[in-house]
Structure 1
């Protein structure tokens, strides 16, 4: 089948799109499809014929139920991914438009739909402490923490060390050389020695600015970006507790970990 023709067949018809999605959960009779989709039987039948003609669906001769073919299922998977991507782009449009995306590698931008079930938190200037308080509440319930932070939040290191030393939370942090050196400068010598003695704390240095700041734990992802002028946006965070978003965050952390060097 011509690719352009297939795109036109699927994209130009909401009804055909709905049929593929309805059949993704299993075979269905015409009456079942009508209940799910809400269109007339004649309209659905016409669309079914179009899809069957292009080998995207087939009808069981015994049960008379329609089902996706292998190519139909592959097409559905890519359509579902596209829908997730478009929802993520549209739902958080201002977030993507107003920030520097260069810190998100292309292979992760291609999976940006994994962040669909996120919420964008915008903090009013008069309440700048609120997101940090909410963030710390989430962190304190975590069993492990992985973070990339090219910026320094003065109260976070102490809080993280308390979690590592008193609750045995596994912590891995990737930061820049400038931030690391500032941390060492500000930290009491005994705190630095404590970190060295904690087997569940690992700190890595990136020689380049990743231009993203995020934390992923066993129960949430918190993700922030920089403005095009290089300033970090302290007032906008994407937060999600979905499994897809957390897996996306873990993979992005691993991407930067492979580029970093462990120092503690």
Structure 2
């Protein structure tokens, strides 16, 4: 974040009233009565906040209606994104706090607000494979899959091959690392199955990753590694909204640009 943007956000966030006014006026221009009814504060308090925002060139007044200036609009966009990012992380804080985020690019981190509707599916002592079972159900009902595969897992590979042969999936694009690709090549069962399968394409990254990402037309899912370097298949983050799926597609594209060979 640029220094000026940081200062602007800090100025707004140090006052609850300034924050509420910026977000309220972002939606549409409002007069004093609108703001008083919406915020439940006396006119004097609201007018004081508006005057501060006018002096800072974030708000302008025309015919008794207050609206955002160009600077105010840009500030509001960043402010709302920041608040939604906080919410997105907080609502699934166990998932984010438990795992390494080292291989999530900066842009993906900045746009975590798109996952504000995501659900964390967690395996329990009664059902140790709940997260994996949900993942298998999800991928079994899709026509297109984009997968960043950072592990060699017979369970996952068996299912991916199976649904490409017998399921709906007719286009499966896998990005994996050299290490995982070598493990697949050294296993005749998987090597032959993938070579013969016209529905699956594999590309190789020129760097390491610890992100297990799956994107389809219906959902995006994410598995991560523990901070000690071990893969965690007990927690699966799933988002079925268009906004979440777009986040996943952008992350997949980020890694696709670093592919070294088909």
The interval holding the TM-score normalised by the smaller chain is 0.7 to 0.9
Mapped pair 1:118 → 2:118: yes
**Conserved 8 A contact 1:203-1:262:** no
* TM-score when normalising by structure 2: 0.87
Aligned residue for 1:174?
175
Asked if 1:95 is matched to 2:83, the reply is: no
For the aligned residue pairs, the C-alpha RMSD in angstroms reads 2.4
Task: Report whether the alignment pairs 1:208 with 2:207.
Answer: yes
Quick check: 1:254 aligned with 2:253?
yes
- Residue 147 of structure 1 corresponds to 147
> What is the CA-CA distance between 1:7 and the residue it aligns to?
4.4
Aligned partners of 1:118 and 1:240 also within 8 Å: yes
Aligned residues: 257
Q: 1:20-46 CA deviation, whole Å, 9 max, x = no partner?
A: 111112111222222222222222122
Counterparts in 2 of 1:108 and 1:190: CA distance versus 1, 3 Å: closer
- The structural deviation recorded for 1:152 is 2.9
Give me the whole-angstrom Cα distance separating, in 2, the residues matched to 1:213 and 1:39.
Answer: 48
Distance 1:101 1:59, change over 3 A: same
- Cα deviation for residue 65 of structure 1 reads 1.6
With over 3 angstroms needed to count, the CA separation of the structure-2 counterparts of 1:127 and 1:56, relative to structure 1, is same
Q: Secondary structure at the match of 1:127?
A: coil
SS at match of 2:137: helix
SS of equivalent residue, structure 2 residue 27? coil
Match status 1:232 vs 2:234: no
- CA–CA distance in structure 2, aligned partners of residues 50 and 212 of structure 1: 45
Which 5+ residue runs of structure 1 have no aligned equivalent? none
Asked whether the equivalents of residues 144 and 169 of structure 1 are also in contact (C-alpha less than 8 Å), the reply is yes
